[in-house]
Structure 1
Amino acid sequence: MGPEATTASNLLELRGVNQSYGQSHTLWDIDLDVPEGQCTVVMGRNGVGKTTLMETIMGMRNLDSGSIQFAGEDISRKAIEYRAPAGIGLVPQGRQIFPLLSVEENLQIGLSARKDKARSIPSFIYELFPVLKEMLGRRGGDLSGGQQQQLAIGRALVIDPKLLILDEPTEGIQPNLVADIATIIRRLNQEFGLTVIIVEQKLPFARKVADRYVILDRGRKVSEGAMPELSDAIIQRYLTV
């Protein structure tokens, strides 16, 4: 299927996306299909444009050219404030929770972006992350790294997204909680039908959670396919340090 074709099952489609930062051309002619209800992992060595790609999808960086279609709508030129209410949730690299606000206050921040104007935090957040319910009154900055990551995911889920983007969700997380986060992502996919994009360096984690992979190298997409198709040769060429 050529890059001009569209598929009803894709929740997100990027076509010919170019992006520059100052004098630096960071993304080159990116085509990307994100199938609805699946988990797509974006991989590549450090500095190849993975986070830039996520920030471009979120409207944090402007396109030079190309288009972004989300849920059948062209959002290429929509302001960043439009993306969350449209149904895109972001768990940024480094989590970026508010350290002086309580867990509950951090979660409530997501409510303002909900289309239904709900006033209360959905109960399934506490079912997914029981530790957050136990620590509602505790300040975000007092949580462990793994607990902060759960809070960041919970805050993104509060907006009731159709698409959840997680940028390096296992970074700085102890191994037992990495397994928990993998389980939660699969549940969001399979039980809630949520579409997920993950930027991830850890190959075992990516294999555990993702249906599809996309690899970037120097701002270009160089390989993609179903996760079982990720060969040792591709790993050696684009992912090993």
Structure 2
Amino acid sequence: MLSIQQLNQFYGQSHTLWDLDLEVEQGKCTVLMGRNGVGKTTLLQSIMGLLPVKSGEIIYRGRGMEVGLQKMSSERRATLGVGYVPQGRQIFPLLTVEENLRIGLPARPDKLRQVPEFIFDMFPVLKQMLSRKGGDLSGGQQQQLAIGRALAIKPELLILDEPTEGIQPNIVAEIGDIIRKLNEEIGLTVLLVEQKLPFARKVADNFCLMDRGRQVANGDIGDLDEQLVKQYLTV
């Protein structure tokens, strides 16, 4: 579904991603892990076109096509079926829940003009709060709104940056169940940045570990052993 090859990225003179390779298997959930500051969010922003890349390829296979994303705008990437939930949610606090959900609808291939009902099946609380301002929601509700907004574009690839950060445990469990449901029942491909190891083990099929802007290990989530955890994840 997504193939990243020899990706390099810079902040000014600082080399932040080094010849990075990553394969995201179609229909699977891949978790991207590593200590703070190793380049995980930078990689996601590069995939989404929010940061420029110096060199390398980002190949996306979706909606019956294979395309290189690295020179496309972020808006164009959304129309190709790439949904994104950024770190910190970044909902629009002065817009209503319904207005937040409707923002991505023009990117849908079928040009649907109303929020798909299945989003409310996933997140019933959003239907109860359609007229409430996004900024008035709790952190967990805002995260559900951010995921719902990304799903509204009918993505084939959903990218989430630390969706459990600052969220109460019951909502964390609910988000995990929804990711698995989207992955297993709908076949949605998921790329997830996550710090919580139990959550990652629960939802992911595959893992990729990063350290200092490079991929240092990858494989089936069952192969993420204690030696790797200690070497690359333990603070």
Q: What is the TM-score normalised by the length of structure 2?
A: 0.97
Cα-to-partner distance string for 1:83-115 (whole Å, 9 max, x where unaligned): 100111000000000111110000000112112
1:228 aligns with 2:218: no
* 2:189 match: 195
1:222 & 1:213 partners in 2: Cα distance? Answer: 11
Q: What's the offset of the Cα at 1:75?
A: 1.5
Is 2:39 the counterpart of 1:49? Answer: yes
Mapped pair 1:204 → 2:198: yes
Q: Which of 162, 172, 178 is matched with 2:166 structurally?
A: 172
Please list, as runs of the form range in 1=range in 2, the aligned pairs for 1:47-196 lying within 5 A after superposition. Answer: 47-71=37-61, 72-196=66-190
CA distance in 2 between counterparts of 1:162 and 1:26 reads: 28
2:16 to 19, 22, 26: 26
Unaligned runs of 5+ in 1: 1-10
Cross-structure match for 1:12: 2
Deviation at 1:190, TM superposition (A): 0.6
Query: Which amino acid in 2 is paired with 1:55?
Result: Q
Distance apart, 1:74 and its partner CA? 1.4
Cα shift readout 1:157-182 (whole Å, capped 9, x = no counterpart) = 00010100000000000011100000
Deviations 1:179-230 (A, max 9, x none): 0000000000011100001100000000000000001000000010100000
Counterpart residue type for residue 36 of structure 2: N
> Number of aligned pairs?
231
Q: Describe the SS at the equivalent of 1:191.
A: helix
* Structure 2 stretches lacking a partner, 5+ long: none
Query: Which residue of structure 2 lines up, in the alignment, with residue 5 of structure 1?
Result: none
One-letter amino acid matched to 1:60: L
Cα distance in 1 between the residues matched to 2:128 and 2:68? 41
CA RMSD of aligned residues (A): 0.6
Q: Distance in 2 between matches of 1:209 and 1:234?
A: 19
Instruction: Tell me which amino acid in the other structure corresponds to 2:210.
Output: L
- What one-letter code is carried by the residue in structure 1 that aligns with 2:229? I
CA displacement 1:38-88 (0-9 Å, x = unmatched): 000000000000000000000111111110100121122112221100111
% identical aligned pairs: 64
1: distance between equivalents of 2:73 and 2:156? 18
The one-letter amino acid paired with 1:88 is V
Q: Hey, which bits of structure 1, 4+ residues long, moved more than 2 A?
A: none
CA–CA distance in structure 2, aligned partners of residues 140 and 221 of structure 1: 36
Counterpart AA for 2:88: G
Counterpart of 1:153, as a letter, is I
What amino acid does structure 2 have at the position aligned with 1:128? M
